[in-house]
Structure 1
Amino acid sequence: MTSCLIKVCRLFCLTLTLPLKLMEILGLCGVYKRLFPLLAYNITFSYNDKVHKMKRELFRNVGKFADADGTLRLLEIGCGSGANFKFYPYGCTVICTDHNPHFEKYLRMSMDANKHLTYDGFLVVSAEDMEEVKDESVDVVVCTLVLCSVTDVKLVLQEARRVLKTGGAFYFMEHVVSDPSSWIYFFQYVFDPLWYYLGDGCTITRATWKDLEAAGFAELHIKYFEAPEVTLMIRPHIMGYSIK
């Protein structure tokens, strides 16, 4: 009965998104792609306040992956407006990547506010194809709230492994699909088609931990948690790191 209700409600939601789908096909979503970085920049402050404790826990040991001389090269996939900068260790060199060039204005603002880091440019590249980054050239790769919106999670994780040095770490924090027996799961599947457009490609029904488990890393350290006070449909989270 519940399964049928989910399908009926999801179909209704899909119907509501038809005008948005048509706009996407006609290439009329460009204006929203320019607007989305501004929305994301403003949401960043609220989200960081709510998960501050979890992010501090996540990044507490990043420094241990530095080279023998103490240098640490960190590449962030989908850096957006630089929400993670304040959690990175002093003196670390950060390479920023994002597929949306309109984030750069807000990214520069975060760079100016985090002088404890060194920045090695902003690359406008797809997370699935970072050919401008050399093989085994970074100590740490960071990816937070990004795997929900990429086209191919498996390819992104392959790219992360490619650019990481042996012994380097891939850090992640992502919202994921809830338990099928929960009401959160019900709302996630019903509203996923609409959320996709409002969130610039964000999908709220991904079991991302399965892709991490199958990615071929030597070690996987993962923690499941409920993000406090965030929107119901993105409350289930995972975080942790994998070692190449």
Structure 2
Amino acid sequence: MKCLMVFCRLVCSAVSLPLYLLEAVGLYAMYKRLFPLLAYNITFSYNDKMHRVKRELFRNVASFAGSDGTLRLLEIGCGSGANFSFYPDGCTVVCTDPNRHFDAYLRRSMDANKHLTYDTFIEASGEDLRSVEDESVDVVVCTLVLCSVSSVPRVLHEARRVLRAYVFEPLWYYLGDGCTVTRATWRDLEAAGFSELHLRHIEAPGVTLMIRPHITGYSIK
């Protein structure tokens, strides 16, 4: 068994030699142009095999919508957009990736997933998301990425920095006799099966910021 492992390592080293040489002479960027094409083509078979797992993974994403009803999601290392089909309707996606050559394939995934809204693509590593403001997103997604970053702790630090913190929610739950300010009640109304539903999102004037977002309207059985 040990001999087999040694042999496999030698074979892998031999196959990797051209890539080592490309990196040594500063031409590894050529492969970075090719990698998005490979990743994009692999996406289809991978998602077929992982469909049930991903569907379960992203099942509760919509529940993290902000108090104003919007859901802003940042994906670190979005690649070609392999996760887009699993995100909830109306979600705004902020795409980041250090490899700008994913752009063409990312556009294809965007065109195929019109149920989402897309923010500007940010060319950046997960360790340095300085162009993303503090506490500006509701969800951070990172799949098949942490194996290739330079510093996992730094990526996680950035993810924590950009996530919104609903710091008053636990306190308000008790002060408000069980009121959960981040609950998306309009989604329950939309799913209730009324023949007509007329809703409007408003900002209640003169009240505290946390309970300022309101919905008004009526439904018909």
Say yes or no: TM over 0.5.
Answer: yes
CA distances 1:147-168 after superposition (whole Å, capped 9, x unpaired): 1111111111111111111259
Aligned partner of 1:62 in structure 2 is 61
Query: How far apart are residue 13 of structure 1 and its match?
Result: 3.6
| Distance across 1 between alignment mates of 2:15 and 2:33 | 23
Structure 2: runs of 5+ lacking an equivalent: 168-221
Name the CA shift for 1:13/1:109 in 2 (closer, same or farther; >3 Å). closer
| Distance across 2 between alignment mates of 1:90 and 1:16 | 44
| Distance across 2 between alignment mates of 1:45 and 1:23 | 29
Aligned partner of 2:32 in structure 1 is 33
Name the CA shift for 1:17/1:42 in 2 (closer, same or farther; >3 Å). closer
| Distance across 2 between alignment mates of 1:16 and 1:91 | 45
Aligned partner of 2:179 in structure 1 is none
Query: How far apart are residue 84 of structure 1 and its match?
Result: 0.6
| Distance across 1 between alignment mates of 2:142 and 2:56 | 15
Say how many residue pairs are matched.
167
What pairs up with 1:39-118 in 2 under 5 angstroms? 39-118=38-117
Q: TM-score, normalised by structure 1?
A: 0.64
Identity of aligned residues (%): 71
Name the CA shift for 1:8/1:109 in 2 (closer, same or farther; >3 Å). closer
| Distance across 2 between alignment mates of 1:8 and 1:166 | 51
| Distance across 1 between alignment mates of 2:8 and 2:42 | 28
Q: Secondary structure at the match of 2:9?
A: helix
Q: Which 4+ stretches in 1 moved above 6 angstroms? A: none
RMSD: 2.0
| Distance across 1 between alignment mates of 2:12 and 2:89 | 46
Q: Secondary structure at the match of 1:166?
A: coil
Partner letter of residue 86 of structure 2? Answer: F
CA distances 1:77-122 after superposition (whole Å, capped 9, x unpaired): 0101111111111111100000000101111111111111111110
| Distance across 2 between alignment mates of 1:122 and 1:164 | 18
Structure with bigger RCO (C-alpha 8 Å, 6+ apart): 1
Q: Secondary structure at the match of 2:146?
A: coil
Query: How far apart are residue 127 of structure 1 and its match?
Result: 1.0
| Distance across 1 between alignment mates of 2:40 and 2:15 | 27
| Structure in which a larger fraction of residues adopt strand | 1
Query: How far apart are residue 29 of structure 1 and its match?
Result: 1.8
Name the CA shift for 1:24/1:64 in 2 (closer, same or farther; >3 Å). same
Query: How far apart are residue 15 of structure 1 and its match?
Result: 5.4
What pairs up with 1:144-163 in 2 under 5 angstroms? 144-163=143-162
| Distance across 1 between alignment mates of 2:58 and 2:15 | 40
Structure 1: runs of 5+ lacking an equivalent: 169-244
Partner letter of residue 58 of structure 2? Answer: F
What pairs up with 1:205-244 in 2 under 5 angstroms? none
Name the CA shift for 1:167/1:46 in 2 (closer, same or farther; >3 Å). farther
Partner letter of residue 126 of structure 2? Answer: A
Query: How far apart are residue 6 of structure 1 and its match?
Result: 4.2
Query: How far apart are residue 17 of structure 1 and its match?
Result: 3.1
Aligned partner of 2:196 in structure 1 is none
